[in-house]
Amino acid sequence: MALRLLSKLGQELYFPRGIVSQAEEADKYAHKANASIGMAYGKGKPFILSAVADSFPGLSAEEAVAYSPAAGFEELRKLWQNLILEKNPSIKPGRISLPVVVTGMTAGLANMAELFLEEGSTIVSCDPAWDTYDLIFETRRSGILRGVSSVGIRGLDFDTIKKTLKEEAKKGQLRVLLNFPNNPAGYSPTLTEAKALAELFHEIAEGGTDILVLSDDAYFGYCYEDDIYRESPFSLFADLHERILAVKIDGPIKEDFVWGFRVGFVTFGSKGLKEEHYNALVAKLMGAVRSAVSCAATPVQHILVNAIKDERTAKDKAAFLDIMKRRYKEVRKFIDQNPEHPLLKPFAFNSGYFMSFRCEGISVEALRKELLSKYGIGLVALGENCLRIAYSILDEEQIPGVFRAIYDCAEEMGRI
């Protein structure tokens, strides 16, 4: 099944038995001298500039400047896998691959496009969506990104999702990109909606369609209401059916508040796949990484290992999440306490970093520009009618004023 879903490039990619592979083998067994890799050492330690060493006081020279394995350091990969299992208890241990370290989640998505998207083939995603999806899947891979209006005013538009996926399934293969909490809507499925999604995908797979389902989990963990399905969509599909290959693209970028670290993870899961099958997929992914960026940065991987092990991390994250939840509640309070605006219809939101309005009767780009020039407020216009507000970056006391300005500005424009 995984082989059938691979693109021509994905079928051809491999991890070579060349310099990197032989150097990793030498690193394990060359006890006398290791002259396999192109680094400069002295007395068994990498050369390091004093200024660089001063910038990483908590890391050894090797942790700061030496090469990383192509798939990332094994300790970090195992720690991240343990975190996936801890945060997603529905996933059975031993049923998913060891995560591969990639150079950010954007790179992970691009790697999956290389492995699984052929020129002219379709991948279904939410609409509106993160605009970089267009670059990744259409511009870079010449695929077709089919947007489905999956998040409505009250929740998932399940009828539209079902209709679109069943239409695509008639082609014999179905590729789907899920992003929850969603960017830009800021919505995650409820428990009921998550169950319905799993049943739909199982039904399509039972009908003979091979399915690739990518989970873009950039905003994983930011859930603010009690009825949300708190696990990744990956947990719904990783062991659901032999015809479904699930891929989790995640990382510490948002989860651990390290946006500039540019490190992410890719994990595979499918019912019936064994360790040798996962190893084959991982080798292809390593080939994609090796042929593009060689490996992820070494120091950030070791910093993350230290952070995961640090007893302060859980407390810090809980405190930050509480702040984010209070900001969400302030936005929710404003929306609930103000009459429904005739020109601004809020998409359903319950999680993540954002909420968005669907603009009706006014230009979203004109509204964005007016808010910036007249009110000094910067927001993002997506597509033809979506205005995205990243309340994640607003202090709690700023929120009422920002949203009042949005309402007032839209009303002024509606009178013109």
pLDDT at 14: 86
Residue type, 407: Y
Q: Each residue's pLDDT tens digit in the chain (416 positions)? A: 788 999 998 999 888 876 666 666 656 765 666 776 788 999 889 999 999 999 999 999 999 999 999 999 999 999 999 999 999 999 999 999 999 999 999 999 999 999 999 999 999 999 999 999 999 999 999 999 999 998 988 899 999 999 999 999 999 999 999 999 999 999 999 999 999 999 999 999 999 999 999 999 999 999 999 999 999 999 999 999 999 999 999 999 999 999 999 999 999 999 989 999 999 999 999 999 999 998 999 999 999 999 999 999 999 999 999 999 999 999 999 999 998 889 999 999 999 999 999 999 999 999 999 999 999 999 999 988 999 999 999 999 999 999 999 999 999 998 76
How many angstroms separate the most distant Cα atoms in the chain? 81
CA distance 126 to 139: 18
Burial class (CB in 10 A: 0-12, 13-18, 19+), 105: buried
Query: pLDDT value at position 19?
Result: 63
pLDDT at 30: 58
Q: Which CATH class is domain 2-36+68-309?
A: alpha beta
Question: Residue 415: what pLDDT?
Answer: 74
Distance CA 344, CA 356 (A): 9
Number of residues in the chain:
416
Task: Compute and round to an integer the Cα radius of gyration of the chain.
Answer: 23
- Measured CA to CA, the distance from residue 278 to residue 347 in angstroms comes to 38
CATH classification number, 313-415, choose in 3.40.630.30, 3.30.565.10, 1.10.1200.10, 3.90.1150.10: 3.90.1150.10
DSSP state, 229?
-
Looking at the chain, the domain(s) classified CATH 3.90.1150.10 span: 313-415
* Phi, psi dihedral angles at 105 (to 5 degrees): -70, -30
Q: Which of the 8 DSSP states describes residue 184?
A: T
Q: Which two tokens stand for residue 47?
A: 């050369």
State how beta strands 210-216 and 244-250 pair.
parallel
pLDDT at 29: 65
Residue intervals of the chain classified under CATH 3.40.640.10 are 2-36+68-309
pTM to 2 decimals? 0.95
